[in-house]
Amino acid sequence: MHLNLKAEITETSAYKIGALQERYQELIQEGMDIINCTIGDPKDDTPKTIRTSLLNSVQKMHNSQYPSYIGTLQLRTSISESLSKEYSTYFDPETMIVSCNGTKEAIYSFPQLFDWLNNKCVSIPSLSYPVYLLSAKYNQIPFQIMNVSKETNFLPDLSKIDIENTQLLWINSPHNPTTTIASYDYLKQLIELAEKNNFIICSDECYNDLYYDEKPTSILEFDSEHWVCFRSLSKRSHMTGYRSGAVISKNRELIKQLKKFRSPMGVGTPSFIQDSAIAAWSDHDHVAQHRASYKNKRDKIISALNKLDLNYHGATAGFYLWVSSPNHQSSESLAEWFLKKGILVTPGTVFGPDGNPYIRMVYCLTDDMIDKVCTHILK
């Protein structure tokens, strides 16, 4: 049977991060003692209050009803109150916030809301979360790559962006994979460009709540209709499996049309998960505990890396280490070095060609696993 499938899909290799998980399973089946440091999926417990809220919600459900596809007003209000507390700015739950199933599906689908005629395109950093690029490719949306490097602090050089045809521009701070944080001045300049040239900044802030020194600036702090912010509970509250996040914008017309767009997509988060999300958004104490825990894990691994003259960038937010070595000129070579020590890491080139010669190592592992990683590094 001949299937007339999109070439953009059939000619694309497997999702590379997913392929790494397959390799991990293969190595385990071969009997190798391997620690998987490739995926940002927290291994510590989801806070008990969140789990209890979920169970209580399910127990109260005598029948099952379709959930709200934009999030219940109670959920959107809890998101509003949480963000307003963090940034001293009011976000109207009715007109500025939409719930989503974690931010991955919202990030993937959001560009489909727009008309891509007249040479308009999506601008994507050359090192970035792969979904930005795959969304554009799979949906046949024109895109351009904004080069980043250590010299640009792994952020696009705003003076060199071709913004004439840009309609959406992706930015991720704290940045996956490099952990770079965009400063207040950088974001202010970017917003001024967006307002002057009439494009929308898509700010992916999945890691904004996980920081160790100064709190990262958020796009939410700026009074403008030229940004949309994607926030998630996955990393902040150890809820990757729950799939709950939010899309926020002060552009009420954009949110209005986004609601209309998402209506037929079947993206309503189950109501019991929405209830557990309310518990998560309403509690900031567990997030502070997660920050302290990750700082301790980070410090242990950095201590081990320093003993072997391995270099790391940033590491002041998130739970990744962006590592290079003077002895390895390619990401693949350094990844193989780690693999020989029983540690599976992600070659930097998975996130784009400018990822060479780095690797990304996650440390959202249990304390016992972190100790084991350090032992393997030094053996």
Q: How confident is the model at residue 361 (pLDDT cuts 50, 70, 90)?
A: very high
Q: Where are the domains of the chain?
A: 7-46+285-378, 63-281
- Least Cα distance to 248 among 220, 218, 279, 277 occurs for 220
Structure tokens at 338: 């780690």
**CA 22, 26, 32: angle at the middle one, nearest 5?**
130
Contact 348, 154 (CB under 8 A): no
Pairwise CA distance, residues 325 & 331, whole Å: 10
Q: pLDDT above 70 covers what percent of the chain? A: 98
Type and span of the H or E element at 369: helix 367-378
Torsion of CA 126, 130, 133, 137, to 10 degrees: 140
pLDDT per position as a tens digit, 152-165: 999 999 999 989 99
pTM value is: 0.95
Least confident of 8-17, 141-150, 298-307: 8-17
Q: How confident is the model at residue 178 (pLDDT cuts 50, 70, 90)?
A: very high
Q: pLDDT above 90 covers what percent of the chain? A: 89
Pairwise CA distance, residues 356 & 324, whole Å: 9
Residue 268: phi, psi to the nearest 5?
-70, 120
Contact 264, 258 (CB under 8 A): no
Mean pLDDT for all residues in the chain: 94
Q: How confident is the model at residue 13 (pLDDT cuts 50, 70, 90)?
A: low
Pairwise CA distance, residues 372 & 370, whole Å: 5
- Least Cα distance to 228 among 65, 365, 111, 60 occurs for 111
Q: Which CATH architecture has domain 7-46+285-378?
A: Alpha-Beta Complex (3.90)
Average pLDDT over residues 325-350: 94
Pairwise CA distance, residues 251 & 102, whole Å: 21
- Helix, strand, coil % over all residues of the chain, rounded to 5: 45, 15, 40
Q: How confident is the model at residue 316 (pLDDT cuts 50, 70, 90)?
A: very high
State the pairing for strand pair 320-324/200-204.
unpaired
Domain 63-281 has CATH 3.40.640.10: yes
pLDDT per position as a tens digit, 364-376: 999 999 999 999 9
- Least Cα distance to 282 among 109, 74, 134, 93 occurs for 74
- 3 state SS of 206: coil
pLDDT per position as a tens digit, 188-204: 999 999 999 999 999 99
State the pairing for strand pair 143-146/166-172.
unpaired
pLDDT per position as a tens digit, 107-133: 999 999 999 999 999 999 999 999 999
At residue 46, does pLDDT exceed 70? yes
